[in-house]
Amino acid sequence: MPKKTVLLLGLLIAVCLAVLAVSAYATNRLSTGFVPLGAREPIRIPGLESLGPAGPRGPRPEGWREFIAAAASFCFLYLVSLVALFLFPRRLRLARNGLMAGWGPGLRLLGIGLLAGVAALLLTVLGTFAFVAFPVSLLLLAGLLVAVWGGTVAVALALGHGITRWVGLKTSSPVFDLTLGILIVFTLGRIPVAGWVFVAILCALALGIVIDSRMGAGGPWSLADFQIAEEASDEQA
């Protein structure tokens, strides 16, 4: 591996670690120093004092436990993504390739994800008014979360692949690409306040690529397969 590539990758990792450390410190300072207007003490919720403030990745403990929680969260995120990579390599490759076509298609995928997310939320709300359809709403939410998760892994792979090409590495392992991508996604998601915005954009983009790539299967959405099956059954009869 060229020295320039090693230096650039090392610098990127160092920047990510520095951002994580500063974000942890800033989160603790904001949680202890913020006092709402008209209140003498920060608002405290009984039973949640030991958990600290919440963030886009869940409750955030204060003090040194913030760094332990961040390390544990990254390990969990990375290991689950690694399992998904080995379970669905072809689908994730097709979804990743769809994210590397440029800014124009990326904005289109973002719009698809936003519209799909709004539609799913509306269907969930409608399902709550129908007692029979309420379990279906829960299944819809579960499917939405799984789709977003799969798309997030594809986004991480695309980020890692793009970075390895940018630093001059002609060939790289998907595992290495995933490691870099997850590190960047996790780092941006831990930034106070701005992390919420990034996570929202990431979820919309992830959902958009899953829908556009037909759950990573490739090809357009169509009923052609159903019609072919119908014709085949008619010929056999």
**Are 192 and 27 within 8 A, CB to CB?**
yes
pLDDT on residue 43: 47
- What pTM, to 2 d.p., does this model score? 0.76
Q: Token digits for 10?
A: 């090392």
Residue 99, classified by CB atoms within 10 Å of its CB into exposed (0-12), middle (13-18) or buried (19+), is buried
Q: How far is it, in rounded angstroms, from Cα 231 to Cα 225?
A: 10
Top-confidence residue, 121 or 235: 121
Q: Which of 22-31, 87-96, 227-236 has the lowest mean pLDDT?
A: 227-236
% of residues, the chain, pLDDT over 70 = 73
For 7, 99, 171, the CA distances from 165, given in Å and listed in that order, are 14, 15, 8
What gap in Å lies between CA 124 and CA 120, rounded to an integer?
6
The tokens of 212 are what? 């556009």
Neighbour-count burial of 229, counting CB atoms closer than 10 A to its CB (0-12 exposed, 13-18 middle, 19+ buried): exposed
Q: How many Å is the Cα radius of gyration of the chain?
A: 22
Element spanning 19, H or E? helix 3-33
Contact 55, 192 (CB under 8 A): yes
Mean pLDDT of 14-38: 71
